[in-house]
Amino acid sequence: MKVVIAGTGYVGLVTGACLAEVGTEVVCVDVDAAKITRLQNGILPIYEPGLQEIVMRNQESKRLSFTTEMSAALPGAEAVFIAVGTPPGEDGSADLQYVLQVAGQIGQLMEQYLVIVTKSTVPVGTAVRVNRAVKEALSARQRLLDYDVASNPEFLKEGAAINDFLKPDRIVVGVNTSRARQTLEQLYRPFLLNGHPILFMDIASAEMTKYAANAMLATRISYMNDIANLCGLAGADINQVRKGIGSDPRIGKHFLYPGIGYGGSCFPKDVKALLQTGREYGYQLRILDAVEAVNEDQKQLLFRKVLRHFDGNIRNKKFAVWGLSFKPNTDDMREAPSLVLIRSLLEAGATVSAYDPVAMKEAATYLGNSITFTDDMYSAAENAAAILLATEWNTFRMPDWLRLRNLMQSPVLFDGRNIYDDVQLIKLGFTYYGIGKSATS
């Protein structure tokens, strides 16, 4: 079976590589010619653990190839996946221009039956617009070709994307014809054989499932951040509370970690887009309004703690920021809480030295030379008034505290991810601030 993937970003590249890995012939198409040339030469545009090996292996075996030409990719394909970006528009709704561009292009170029599958995260009702774009392009050519549209939202997590794709909890597929269902069932057969379920449903429900899932996860984060803030005020410890509630199977222990707010390319934009969908239907999603408001506030939490500790006087003080990406194991900086923190520090007249194991190059595209990037976490901390942990990369988990205490201007630590032992640090002479622990909040 041959498929085409339009869009070679985090989702498109992982999808293409993993489908090739299970035996499908895959052609990845992207409008970014520089990205395609680099991929043809084995250079990946993103950091994702395990991806490089899979891309190389499947390129060598000729199951995976890259092109900028949709016309060269389509012949012989049975399905095309649209995996382009859907960034937030001005009103928060998902900007569908890239999705609809690709749909129109497919209509202009297709020569045989295709299942046109939207993998990008798109609001309920988008398949109708994709269908219209394909139909209009076909009728402009005066062609009557058969095709189906389908929705197959992606649930991979950056940093664990390969495992998530190859061993999915579930594959959600929205179809409205048995032909489309059969094609996608055949494509995903290797996953089904390994016991991973595929859930067929109507297209609108598949589109909605993705937003409902991301909004639920964002809700858990904002809920825990809210409870953590109250713990800090009321003499409770969120870490103990988290364990206490997580052991109830109705709640479960995943996604209960408080921090400095959710970021990334999905949760912020998907919550906004779902709120906007609600508005379009005259329905106010009150819980999600609160989820967003709590998150905006939480992104300022560490900065407020810094100001309080230094009595508002941080001008010309140097701060070390550890971790920049929105979460560990990725170089993705989109909507990273570290950016909000760093910009607040700079606006207040402080200087910032930062270290991240992978994301510094990407971070520089957002921050330019407004901060100093260092080669390791210790250099960042030299003469710093405090360390601020923004992303819980493994490399930050067991630092040499004595070394740090000696090289910092003052041994102060703001732990934005609650990964350190406050009792140990206080014993070592550090002033420690975590999230949602009364003694140190």
**Catalytic (active-site) positions:** 266
Nearer to ligand NAD, 85 or 436 (CB): 85
Give the distance, in angstroms, between the CA of residue 291 and the centroid of all CA atoms in the same chain: 17
Reported as type and span, the H/E element at residue 373 is strand 372-373
What Å distances lie between residue 69 and 109, 185, 192, CA to CA? Answer: 10, 27, 32
- Quote the least distance from Cβ 332 to ligand NAD, whole Å: 7
Two structure tokens written together for 214: 């991301």
The annotation status of 2 as a binding-site residue, yes or no, is no
- Quote the least distance from Cβ 83 to ligand NAD, whole Å: 5
Taking the C-alpha atoms of residue 170 and residue 40, their distance in angstroms, rounded to an integer, is 31
Binders of ligand NAD among 254-273, rule CB under 6 A?
265-266
For ligand NAD, what does the binding mask look like between residues 125 and 164, x meaning CB under 6 A? Answer: -----------------------------x-x-x------
Nearer to ligand NAD, 90 or 311 (CB): 90
Candidate segments 98-106, 307-315, 344-352, 385-393, binder of ligand NAD by CB under 6 A: 98-106
- Quote the least distance from Cβ 413 to ligand NAD, whole Å: 30
> DSSP states of 135-195 as a string?
HHHHHHTT----EEEEE------TTSHHHHHHS-S-EEEE-SSHHHHHHHHHHTHHHHHTT
**How would you class 420 by CB atoms within 10 Å of its CB: exposed for 0-12, middle for 13-18, buried for 19 or more?**
buried
Report whether 354 contacts 373 (CB < 8 A).
yes
Nearer to ligand NAD, 237 or 392 (CB): 392
The annotation status of 145 as a binding-site residue, yes or no, is no
Residue of 2, 50, 101, 410 interacting with ligand NAD (CB under 6 A): 101
Residues 6+ apart with CB under 8 A from 112: 75, 76, 77, 145
Nearer to ligand NAD, 102 or 371 (CB): 102
Report whether 133 contacts 167 (CB < 8 A).
no
Nearer to ligand NAD, 165 or 355 (CB): 165
Count of residues that interact with ligand NAD, criterion CB under 6 A:
26
Quick check: 11 binds ligand NAD (CB under 6 A)?
Answer: yes
- Quote the least distance from Cβ 167 to ligand NAD, whole Å: 16
- Quote the least distance from Cβ 211 to ligand NAD, whole Å: 10
The annotation status of 263 as a binding-site residue, yes or no, is yes
The annotation status of 269 as a binding-site residue, yes or no, is yes
Quick check: 208 binds ligand NAD (CB under 6 A)?
Answer: no
Quick check: 9 binds ligand NAD (CB under 6 A)?
Answer: yes
Nearest to 207 by CA among 242, 232, 172: 172
> DSSP states of 347-361 as a string?
HTT-EEEEE-SS-HH
Taking the C-alpha atoms of residue 310 and residue 299, their distance in angstroms, rounded to an integer, is 19
Residue of 2, 22, 32, 431 interacting with ligand NAD (CB under 6 A): 32
Q: CA-based angle 63:69:70, to the nearest 5?
A: 80
Taking the C-alpha atoms of residue 426 and residue 441, their distance in angstroms, rounded to an integer, is 13
Quick check: 118 binds ligand NAD (CB under 6 A)?
Answer: no
The annotation status of 157 as a binding-site residue, yes or no, is yes
- Quote the least distance from Cβ 37 to ligand NAD, whole Å: 13
Quick check: 98 binds ligand NAD (CB under 6 A)?
Answer: yes
Nearest to 355 by CA among 335, 378, 339, 333: 378
Binders of ligand NAD among 76-95, rule CB under 6 A?
83-86
Report whether 119 contacts 294 (CB < 8 A).
no
Residue of 7, 174, 357, 434 interacting with ligand NAD (CB under 6 A): 7
Quick check: 102 binds ligand NAD (CB under 6 A)?
Answer: yes
Strand partners, 337: none
Nearer to ligand NAD, 32 or 226 (CB): 32
The contact set with ligand NAD (CB under 6 A) reads 6-12, 29-32, 35, 83-86, 98, 101-102, 120-121, 154, 156, 158, 265-266
